[in-house]
Structure 1
Amino acid sequence: MALAIFDLDNTLLDGDSDYLWGRFLVAQGRVDGDSYERENHRFYEEYRRGQLDIQEFLAFSLKPLSEIPPPELAELHRRFMEQAIRPRITAPARELLARHRAEGDFLLIITATNRFITAPIAEELGVDDLLATDPEQIAGRYTGRVSGIPCFREGKVERLEQWLKQTGQNLADSWFYSDSRNDLPLLERVTRPVAVDPDETLADHAAARGWPIISLRESSGS
Protein backbone atom coordinates (compact mmCIF):
# COMPACT_ATOMS: atom_id res chain seq x y z
CA MET A 1 0.00 0.00 0.00
CA ALA A 2 1.44 3.34 -1.08
CA LEU A 3 1.00 6.64 0.73
CA ALA A 4 -0.66 9.12 -1.63
CA ILE A 5 -0.35 12.68 -0.31
CA PHE A 6 -2.24 15.61 -1.81
CA ASP A 7 -2.02 19.34 -1.39
CA LEU A 8 -5.50 20.85 -1.34
CA ASP A 9 -5.63 24.42 -2.61
CA ASN A 10 -5.12 24.82 -6.36
CA THR A 11 -4.36 21.10 -6.50
CA LEU A 12 -7.44 19.05 -5.63
CA LEU A 13 -9.43 22.29 -5.61
CA ASP A 14 -9.62 24.67 -8.55
CA GLY A 15 -9.03 27.58 -6.19
CA ASP A 16 -7.66 28.41 -2.75
CA SER A 17 -10.04 27.61 0.12
CA ASP A 18 -8.35 30.02 2.56
CA TYR A 19 -8.67 32.92 0.12
CA LEU A 20 -12.19 31.90 -0.84
CA TRP A 21 -13.25 31.73 2.83
CA GLY A 22 -12.00 35.29 3.31
CA ARG A 23 -14.00 36.46 0.30
CA PHE A 24 -17.04 34.56 1.57
CA LEU A 25 -16.81 36.32 4.95
CA VAL A 26 -16.68 39.66 3.15
CA ALA A 27 -19.73 38.76 1.04
CA GLN A 28 -21.62 37.69 4.17
CA GLY A 29 -20.80 40.96 5.94
CA ARG A 30 -18.99 39.18 8.79
CA VAL A 31 -15.77 41.22 8.46
CA ASP A 32 -14.90 44.77 7.45
CA GLY A 33 -15.32 44.49 3.70
CA ASP A 34 -12.78 46.77 2.04
CA SER A 35 -9.89 46.36 4.46
CA TYR A 36 -10.37 42.61 4.88
CA GLU A 37 -10.59 42.02 1.13
CA ARG A 38 -7.44 44.09 0.59
CA GLU A 39 -5.44 42.18 3.21
CA ASN A 40 -6.83 38.83 2.07
CA HIS A 41 -5.64 39.56 -1.47
CA ARG A 42 -2.23 40.78 -0.26
CA PHE A 43 -1.59 37.62 1.72
CA TYR A 44 -2.69 35.44 -1.20
CA GLU A 45 -0.30 37.18 -3.59
CA GLU A 46 2.54 36.88 -1.06
CA TYR A 47 1.79 33.16 -0.80
CA ARG A 48 1.86 32.77 -4.58
CA ARG A 49 5.25 34.55 -4.72
CA GLY A 50 6.66 32.33 -1.95
CA GLN A 51 6.96 35.32 0.40
CA LEU A 52 4.21 34.66 2.95
CA ASP A 53 4.87 35.34 6.63
CA ILE A 54 2.75 32.47 7.94
CA GLN A 55 2.44 33.81 11.48
CA GLU A 56 1.26 37.22 10.27
CA PHE A 57 -1.23 35.54 7.97
CA LEU A 58 -2.58 33.23 10.68
CA ALA A 59 -3.10 36.16 13.07
CA PHE A 60 -5.25 37.69 10.31
CA SER A 61 -7.11 34.62 9.10
CA LEU A 62 -7.89 33.00 12.47
CA LYS A 63 -9.23 36.18 14.09
CA PRO A 64 -12.76 35.87 12.62
CA LEU A 65 -13.03 32.33 14.01
CA SER A 66 -12.65 33.79 17.50
CA GLU A 67 -15.28 36.49 16.90
CA ILE A 68 -18.11 34.41 15.44
CA PRO A 69 -20.04 32.01 17.73
CA PRO A 70 -19.48 28.31 16.89
CA PRO A 71 -23.07 27.61 15.77
CA GLU A 72 -22.89 30.52 13.33
CA LEU A 73 -19.50 29.33 12.09
CA ALA A 74 -20.96 25.90 11.38
CA GLU A 75 -23.82 27.38 9.36
CA LEU A 76 -21.48 29.72 7.49
CA HIS A 77 -19.24 26.81 6.57
CA ARG A 78 -22.20 24.76 5.37
CA ARG A 79 -23.10 27.55 2.94
CA PHE A 80 -19.45 28.05 2.02
CA MET A 81 -19.14 24.39 1.03
CA GLU A 82 -22.24 24.59 -1.13
CA GLN A 83 -21.49 27.90 -2.81
CA ALA A 84 -17.69 28.09 -3.04
CA ILE A 85 -16.12 24.65 -2.62
CA ARG A 86 -18.14 21.85 -4.23
CA PRO A 87 -18.24 23.67 -7.59
CA ARG A 88 -14.43 23.82 -7.50
CA ILE A 89 -13.84 20.10 -7.00
CA THR A 90 -13.19 18.97 -10.55
CA ALA A 91 -13.97 15.59 -12.06
CA PRO A 92 -10.26 14.93 -12.77
CA ALA A 93 -9.46 15.52 -9.10
CA ARG A 94 -12.12 13.07 -7.99
CA GLU A 95 -10.89 10.58 -10.59
CA LEU A 96 -7.29 10.83 -9.34
CA LEU A 97 -8.42 10.13 -5.78
CA ALA A 98 -10.54 7.24 -7.01
CA ARG A 99 -7.57 5.68 -8.86
CA HIS A 100 -5.39 5.76 -5.75
CA ARG A 101 -8.25 4.46 -3.64
CA ALA A 102 -8.77 1.56 -6.07
CA GLU A 103 -5.06 0.71 -5.77
CA GLY A 104 -5.49 0.39 -2.03
CA ASP A 105 -3.35 3.44 -1.28
CA PHE A 106 -3.68 5.52 1.90
CA LEU A 107 -5.00 8.98 0.95
CA LEU A 108 -3.70 11.94 2.97
CA ILE A 109 -4.36 15.64 2.42
CA ILE A 110 -1.70 17.97 3.79
CA THR A 111 -2.49 21.67 3.67
CA ALA A 112 -1.47 24.98 5.19
CA THR A 113 -5.12 26.04 5.35
CA ASN A 114 -6.61 25.66 8.81
CA ARG A 115 -8.55 22.62 9.92
CA PHE A 116 -11.82 24.50 10.45
CA ILE A 117 -11.95 25.28 6.73
CA THR A 118 -10.47 22.03 5.44
CA ALA A 119 -11.90 19.20 7.57
CA PRO A 120 -15.32 19.27 5.83
CA ILE A 121 -13.56 19.44 2.45
CA ALA A 122 -11.43 16.40 3.29
CA GLU A 123 -14.60 14.58 4.32
CA GLU A 124 -16.26 15.53 1.04
CA LEU A 125 -13.27 14.14 -0.86
CA GLY A 126 -13.30 10.90 1.12
CA VAL A 127 -9.62 10.83 2.07
CA ASP A 128 -8.28 8.73 4.93
CA ASP A 129 -6.67 11.52 6.95
CA LEU A 130 -5.93 15.23 7.01
CA LEU A 131 -2.95 17.26 8.20
CA ALA A 132 -3.76 20.97 8.41
CA THR A 133 -2.83 24.02 10.44
CA ASP A 134 -4.68 23.65 13.74
CA PRO A 135 -6.49 26.66 15.23
CA GLU A 136 -6.35 26.73 19.02
CA GLN A 137 -9.61 26.06 20.85
CA ILE A 138 -10.44 26.60 24.51
CA ALA A 139 -13.78 25.47 25.93
CA GLY A 140 -15.17 24.90 22.45
CA ARG A 141 -14.32 28.32 21.05
CA TYR A 142 -11.51 29.38 18.77
CA THR A 143 -8.99 31.75 20.32
CA GLY A 144 -7.59 33.28 17.14
CA ARG A 145 -4.23 31.63 17.80
CA VAL A 146 -2.57 28.64 16.17
CA SER A 147 -1.94 25.37 18.00
CA GLY A 148 1.39 23.68 17.28
CA ILE A 149 3.41 23.90 14.09
CA PRO A 150 1.73 25.60 11.12
CA CYS A 151 1.45 23.10 8.26
CA PHE A 152 3.39 25.29 5.82
CA ARG A 153 6.62 24.86 3.84
CA GLU A 154 9.14 23.09 6.12
CA GLY A 155 6.36 22.85 8.68
CA LYS A 156 4.56 20.42 6.37
CA VAL A 157 7.61 18.16 6.51
CA GLU A 158 7.75 18.40 10.32
CA ARG A 159 4.05 17.69 10.69
CA LEU A 160 4.27 14.76 8.27
CA GLU A 161 7.24 13.28 10.12
CA GLN A 162 5.28 13.46 13.38
CA TRP A 163 2.32 11.79 11.68
CA LEU A 164 4.48 9.02 10.21
CA LYS A 165 5.82 8.17 13.69
CA GLN A 166 2.32 8.16 15.16
CA THR A 167 0.75 6.02 12.44
CA GLY A 168 3.55 3.69 11.41
CA GLN A 169 3.27 4.84 7.80
CA ASN A 170 6.41 5.58 5.79
CA LEU A 171 7.61 7.31 2.64
CA ALA A 172 9.16 4.22 1.04
CA ASP A 173 6.46 4.20 -1.66
CA SER A 174 4.93 7.65 -1.58
CA TRP A 175 3.33 10.21 -3.87
CA PHE A 176 2.86 13.93 -3.34
CA TYR A 177 0.76 16.08 -5.64
CA SER A 178 1.11 19.87 -5.39
CA ASP A 179 0.83 23.07 -7.41
CA SER A 180 3.08 25.30 -5.33
CA ARG A 181 6.71 26.29 -4.93
CA ASN A 182 5.94 26.44 -1.21
CA ASP A 183 5.74 22.64 -1.22
CA LEU A 184 9.20 21.98 -2.64
CA PRO A 185 10.56 20.85 0.75
CA LEU A 186 8.01 18.01 0.87
CA LEU A 187 8.10 17.27 -2.86
CA GLU A 188 11.81 16.58 -2.46
CA ARG A 189 11.14 14.02 0.28
CA VAL A 190 8.69 11.66 -1.41
CA THR A 191 9.33 8.85 -3.87
CA ARG A 192 7.06 10.20 -6.60
CA PRO A 193 6.60 13.98 -6.67
CA VAL A 194 3.99 15.25 -9.13
CA ALA A 195 3.47 18.90 -10.12
CA VAL A 196 -0.21 19.72 -10.62
CA ASP A 197 -1.07 22.84 -12.62
CA PRO A 198 2.14 24.24 -11.15
CA ASP A 199 3.23 27.82 -10.59
CA GLU A 200 6.19 28.94 -12.70
CA THR A 201 8.84 28.14 -10.12
CA LEU A 202 7.54 24.64 -9.50
CA ALA A 203 7.05 24.02 -13.23
CA ASP A 204 10.68 24.92 -13.92
CA HIS A 205 11.89 22.78 -11.00
CA ALA A 206 9.76 19.83 -12.07
CA ALA A 207 11.00 20.04 -15.65
CA ALA A 208 14.62 20.16 -14.50
CA ARG A 209 14.14 17.16 -12.20
CA GLY A 210 12.04 15.14 -14.64
CA TRP A 211 8.98 15.12 -12.40
CA PRO A 212 5.58 14.50 -14.01
CA ILE A 213 3.49 17.62 -14.64
CA ILE A 214 -0.27 17.07 -14.82
CA SER A 215 -3.50 19.07 -14.81
CA LEU A 216 -6.60 18.43 -12.72
CA ARG A 217 -8.60 21.22 -14.30
CA GLU A 218 -11.73 20.47 -16.29
CA SER A 219 -11.06 19.91 -19.99
CA SER A 220 -13.23 22.93 -20.80
CA GLY A 221 -10.80 25.11 -18.88
CA SER A 222 -13.54 26.36 -16.54
Structure 2
Amino acid sequence: MRRLAVLDLDGTLTPDTLGGLLVRELMARGVCDAAAGREFLATVDGHDPRRQGFHSRIEEVYRSLGRVAAGVSVSSVERTAEEVWAHARGRLFGFVRPLVRMLEAEGFLVALVSGGPLMMVHLVAEDLGIDVYRGAQLAIQRNRYTGEVLQWPSRMGGKPAILRELAELHQACLGQSLAMGNSSSDAELFALVGLPLVFEPSQSLAELAASRGWSRVDRHDVLRVLPALLAGEQGGEGVPSA
Protein backbone atom coordinates (compact mmCIF):
# COMPACT_ATOMS: atom_id res chain seq x y z
CA MET A 1 0.00 0.00 0.00
CA ARG A 2 1.01 3.63 -0.47
CA ARG A 3 2.14 6.01 2.25
CA LEU A 4 0.72 9.49 2.70
CA ALA A 5 2.66 12.51 3.97
CA VAL A 6 0.11 15.07 5.14
CA LEU A 7 1.56 18.55 5.66
CA ASP A 8 -0.09 21.50 7.38
CA LEU A 9 0.47 24.95 5.85
CA ASP A 10 0.08 28.06 8.02
CA GLY A 11 2.69 28.10 10.78
CA THR A 12 4.28 24.91 9.47
CA LEU A 13 5.48 25.60 5.94
CA THR A 14 5.23 29.38 6.22
CA PRO A 15 5.15 31.80 9.15
CA ASP A 16 2.16 33.55 7.58
CA THR A 17 -1.56 32.99 7.94
CA LEU A 18 -2.36 33.07 4.23
CA GLY A 19 -6.09 33.51 4.71
CA GLY A 20 -5.42 36.65 6.72
CA LEU A 21 -3.13 38.03 4.01
CA LEU A 22 -5.81 37.32 1.41
CA VAL A 23 -8.55 39.10 3.34
CA ARG A 24 -6.33 42.12 4.01
CA GLU A 25 -5.66 42.45 0.29
CA LEU A 26 -9.34 41.99 -0.61
CA MET A 27 -10.13 44.83 1.80
CA ALA A 28 -7.37 47.02 0.39
CA ARG A 29 -8.81 46.58 -3.11
CA GLY A 30 -12.37 47.20 -1.99
CA VAL A 31 -13.37 43.74 -3.20
CA CYS A 32 -15.08 42.59 0.00
CA ASP A 33 -17.13 44.27 2.69
CA ALA A 34 -14.70 46.17 4.93
CA ALA A 35 -16.66 45.53 8.14
CA ALA A 36 -16.77 41.79 7.43
CA GLY A 37 -13.05 41.84 6.69
CA ARG A 38 -12.22 43.61 9.94
CA GLU A 39 -14.38 41.14 11.84
CA PHE A 40 -12.58 38.20 10.24
CA LEU A 41 -9.13 39.60 10.98
CA ALA A 42 -10.07 40.32 14.59
CA THR A 43 -11.41 36.79 14.93
CA VAL A 44 -8.27 35.23 13.46
CA ASP A 45 -5.96 37.43 15.56
CA GLY A 46 -7.75 36.27 18.70
CA HIS A 47 -7.35 32.57 17.96
CA ASP A 48 -3.96 30.92 18.27
CA PRO A 49 -4.22 27.52 16.51
CA ARG A 50 -1.57 26.07 18.80
CA ARG A 51 -3.43 26.78 22.03
CA GLN A 52 -6.06 24.81 23.90
CA GLY A 53 -9.67 25.69 23.15
CA PHE A 54 -8.94 26.25 19.46
CA HIS A 55 -11.59 23.79 18.32
CA SER A 56 -14.31 25.45 20.37
CA ARG A 57 -13.78 28.74 18.52
CA ILE A 58 -12.82 27.71 15.00
CA GLU A 59 -16.39 27.67 13.72
CA GLU A 60 -16.56 31.41 14.43
CA VAL A 61 -13.52 31.88 12.20
CA TYR A 62 -15.08 29.91 9.36
CA ARG A 63 -18.43 31.67 9.58
CA SER A 64 -16.61 34.99 9.52
CA LEU A 65 -14.70 33.89 6.41
CA GLY A 66 -18.01 33.04 4.76
CA ARG A 67 -19.34 36.54 5.48
CA VAL A 68 -16.23 38.09 3.93
CA ALA A 69 -16.65 36.11 0.72
CA ALA A 70 -20.45 36.39 0.41
CA GLY A 71 -21.39 38.00 -2.89
CA VAL A 72 -17.80 38.41 -4.08
CA SER A 73 -16.94 37.15 -7.57
CA VAL A 74 -14.74 34.08 -7.78
CA SER A 75 -12.50 35.69 -10.39
CA SER A 76 -11.80 38.70 -8.15
CA VAL A 77 -10.75 36.47 -5.27
CA GLU A 78 -8.63 34.25 -7.49
CA ARG A 79 -6.76 37.21 -9.00
CA THR A 80 -6.14 38.63 -5.55
CA ALA A 81 -4.99 35.26 -4.21
CA GLU A 82 -2.48 34.92 -7.04
CA GLU A 83 -0.93 38.30 -6.23
CA VAL A 84 -0.88 37.57 -2.50
CA TRP A 85 0.96 34.30 -3.11
CA ALA A 86 3.38 35.95 -5.55
CA HIS A 87 4.56 38.10 -2.62
CA ALA A 88 4.20 35.50 0.16
CA ARG A 89 5.92 32.58 -1.59
CA GLY A 90 9.33 34.00 -0.71
CA ARG A 91 8.52 33.52 2.98
CA LEU A 92 8.21 29.74 2.76
CA PHE A 93 10.63 28.17 5.22
CA GLY A 94 13.84 27.08 3.53
CA PHE A 95 13.31 23.41 4.34
CA VAL A 96 9.98 23.12 2.50
CA ARG A 97 11.00 22.35 -1.07
CA PRO A 98 13.79 19.92 -0.06
CA LEU A 99 11.34 18.24 2.33
CA VAL A 100 8.76 17.68 -0.40
CA ARG A 101 11.42 16.23 -2.69
CA MET A 102 12.74 14.01 0.12
CA LEU A 103 9.30 12.63 0.90
CA GLU A 104 8.54 11.94 -2.74
CA ALA A 105 11.90 10.18 -3.16
CA GLU A 106 10.96 7.97 -0.19
CA GLY A 107 7.76 6.97 -1.98
CA PHE A 108 5.28 9.12 -0.05
CA LEU A 109 2.25 10.68 -1.70
CA VAL A 110 2.49 14.25 -0.38
CA ALA A 111 -0.78 15.98 0.51
CA LEU A 112 -1.25 19.58 1.66
CA VAL A 113 -4.12 19.74 4.18
CA SER A 114 -4.82 23.18 5.61
CA GLY A 115 -7.58 24.94 7.47
CA GLY A 116 -7.00 27.98 5.24
CA PRO A 117 -9.01 29.01 2.16
CA LEU A 118 -8.82 26.47 -0.64
CA MET A 119 -7.88 29.07 -3.27
CA MET A 120 -4.68 29.83 -1.33
CA VAL A 121 -3.91 26.18 -0.60
CA HIS A 122 -4.29 25.42 -4.32
CA LEU A 123 -1.67 28.04 -5.27
CA VAL A 124 0.83 26.74 -2.71
CA ALA A 125 0.28 23.14 -3.79
CA GLU A 126 0.71 24.07 -7.45
CA ASP A 127 3.93 25.96 -6.68
CA LEU A 128 5.34 22.98 -4.75
CA GLY A 129 4.23 20.41 -7.33
CA ILE A 130 1.78 18.77 -4.93
CA ASP A 131 -1.24 17.24 -6.64
CA VAL A 132 -3.28 16.38 -3.53
CA TYR A 133 -4.57 19.20 -1.34
CA ARG A 134 -7.54 20.20 0.80
CA GLY A 135 -8.59 23.48 2.41
CA ALA A 136 -11.62 25.44 3.55
CA GLN A 137 -14.06 25.22 0.64
CA LEU A 138 -16.68 27.92 0.01
CA ALA A 139 -19.90 27.40 -1.93
CA ILE A 140 -20.20 29.07 -5.34
CA GLN A 141 -23.33 30.02 -7.27
CA ARG A 142 -23.30 31.92 -10.57
CA ASN A 143 -19.59 32.59 -10.22
CA ARG A 144 -19.96 34.26 -6.84
CA TYR A 145 -19.38 32.97 -3.33
CA THR A 146 -22.60 32.41 -1.42
CA GLY A 147 -21.11 32.73 2.07
CA GLU A 148 -21.64 29.05 2.89
CA VAL A 149 -18.60 27.06 4.02
CA LEU A 150 -18.71 23.52 2.61
CA GLN A 151 -15.56 22.03 4.14
CA TRP A 152 -14.17 23.00 7.56
CA PRO A 153 -10.81 21.22 7.90
CA SER A 154 -9.84 22.69 11.27
CA ARG A 155 -13.16 21.85 12.92
CA MET A 156 -12.81 18.97 15.38
CA GLY A 157 -12.67 15.77 13.36
CA GLY A 158 -12.16 17.68 10.12
CA LYS A 159 -8.58 16.74 9.32
CA PRO A 160 -8.97 13.11 10.45
CA ALA A 161 -11.95 12.80 8.08
CA ILE A 162 -9.84 14.19 5.24
CA LEU A 163 -6.98 11.84 6.13
CA ARG A 164 -9.25 8.81 6.06
CA GLU A 165 -10.78 9.96 2.77
CA LEU A 166 -7.34 10.32 1.19
CA ALA A 167 -6.17 6.98 2.59
CA GLU A 168 -9.16 5.23 1.07
CA LEU A 169 -8.92 7.09 -2.22
CA HIS A 170 -5.22 6.35 -2.66
CA GLN A 171 -5.15 2.99 -0.86
CA ALA A 172 -2.65 4.25 1.70
CA CYS A 173 -1.64 2.65 4.98
CA LEU A 174 -2.07 5.10 7.86
CA GLY A 175 0.32 3.13 10.06
CA GLN A 176 3.10 3.88 7.58
CA SER A 177 1.98 7.44 6.81
CA LEU A 178 3.31 10.77 8.11
CA ALA A 179 1.69 13.97 9.35
CA MET A 180 3.41 17.25 10.19
CA GLY A 181 1.79 20.30 11.75
CA ASN A 182 1.69 22.66 14.69
CA SER A 183 -1.95 22.97 15.74
CA SER A 184 -4.66 21.21 17.72
CA SER A 185 -6.28 20.04 14.49
CA ASP A 186 -2.98 18.42 13.48
CA ALA A 187 -2.75 16.69 16.87
CA GLU A 188 -5.81 14.69 15.83
CA LEU A 189 -3.78 13.37 12.90
CA PHE A 190 -0.74 12.48 14.97
CA ALA A 191 -2.71 9.78 16.78
CA LEU A 192 -3.64 8.14 13.46
CA VAL A 193 -0.33 7.91 11.62
CA GLY A 194 2.85 5.97 12.18
CA LEU A 195 5.14 8.98 11.74
CA PRO A 196 3.85 12.07 13.58
CA LEU A 197 6.03 15.19 13.35
CA VAL A 198 5.06 17.93 15.78
CA PHE A 199 6.41 21.18 14.35
CA GLU A 200 7.50 23.99 16.71
CA PRO A 201 4.67 23.30 19.17
CA SER A 202 3.20 25.39 21.94
CA GLN A 203 3.98 24.22 25.47
CA SER A 204 0.71 22.28 25.76
CA LEU A 205 1.23 20.52 22.43
CA ALA A 206 4.88 19.81 23.30
CA GLU A 207 3.76 18.20 26.57
CA LEU A 208 1.21 16.09 24.70
CA ALA A 209 3.87 15.08 22.18
CA ALA A 210 6.23 14.03 24.97
CA SER A 211 3.52 11.96 26.66
CA ARG A 212 2.61 10.20 23.39
CA GLY A 213 6.15 9.72 22.08
CA TRP A 214 5.54 11.89 19.02
CA SER A 215 8.62 13.22 17.27
CA ARG A 216 9.23 16.95 17.60
CA VAL A 217 10.97 19.02 14.91
CA ASP A 218 11.63 22.63 14.01
CA ARG A 219 12.60 24.58 10.90
CA HIS A 220 16.30 24.02 11.60
CA ASP A 221 16.40 20.26 12.18
CA VAL A 222 13.53 18.69 10.25
CA LEU A 223 15.69 17.77 7.24
CA ARG A 224 18.16 16.06 9.58
CA VAL A 225 15.67 14.36 11.88
CA LEU A 226 13.31 12.99 9.22
CA PRO A 227 15.83 10.71 7.42
CA ALA A 228 16.80 9.19 10.78
CA LEU A 229 13.16 8.52 11.59
CA LEU A 230 12.51 6.99 8.19
CA ALA A 231 15.55 4.77 8.63
CA GLY A 232 14.34 3.72 12.07
CA GLU A 233 17.48 5.06 13.74
CA GLN A 234 15.48 6.57 16.57
CA GLY A 235 13.32 3.54 17.12
CA GLY A 236 10.15 5.64 16.81
CA GLU A 237 11.01 7.78 19.84
CA GLY A 238 10.20 11.47 19.70
CA VAL A 239 12.65 14.32 20.01
CA PRO A 240 12.62 15.40 23.68
CA SER A 241 10.48 18.41 24.46
CA ALA A 242 12.17 21.58 25.62
Per the normalisation by structure 2, the TM-score is 0.79
Map 1:116-131 onto structure 2 (within 5 A): 116-131=119-134
Superposed CA deviations along residues 163-207 of structure 1, whole A, max 9, x for unmatched, are 322332231311100111232111111101111122222122122
One-letter amino acid of the counterpart of residue 64, structure 2:
F
1:107 equivalent in structure 2: 110
2:61 equivalent in structure 1: 57
The whole-number CA distance in structure 1 between the counterparts of 2:39 and 2:148 is 21
The whole-number CA distance in structure 1 between the counterparts of 2:90 and 2:202 is 22
1:95 and 2:98 correspond: yes
The whole-number CA distance in structure 1 between the counterparts of 2:177 and 2:168 is 15
Q: Percent identity?
A: 24
Map 1:196-207 onto structure 2 (within 5 A): 196-207=199-210
Distance 1:162 1:3, change over 3 A: closer
1:75 equivalent in structure 2: 79
Between stretches 56-65 and 73-82, larger displacement belongs to 56-65
1:26 and 2:30 correspond: no
Distance 1:156 1:121, change over 3 A: same
1:168 equivalent in structure 2: 171
The whole-number CA distance in structure 2 between the counterparts of 1:118 and 1:8 is 8
For structure 1, which runs of at least 5 residues remain unmatched after alignment? none
Distance 1:53 1:11, change over 3 A: same
- C-alpha contact 2:3 2:172 (8 A) present in aligned 1: no
The whole-number CA distance in structure 2 between the counterparts of 1:139 and 1:202 is 43
Between stretches 165-174 and 32-41, larger displacement belongs to 32-41
Q: Which runs of 4 or more aligned residues in structure 1 lie more than 6 Å from their structure 2 counterparts after TM superposition? A: none
The whole-number CA distance in structure 2 between the counterparts of 1:193 and 1:80 is 31
Between stretches 133-142 and 116-125, larger displacement belongs to 133-142
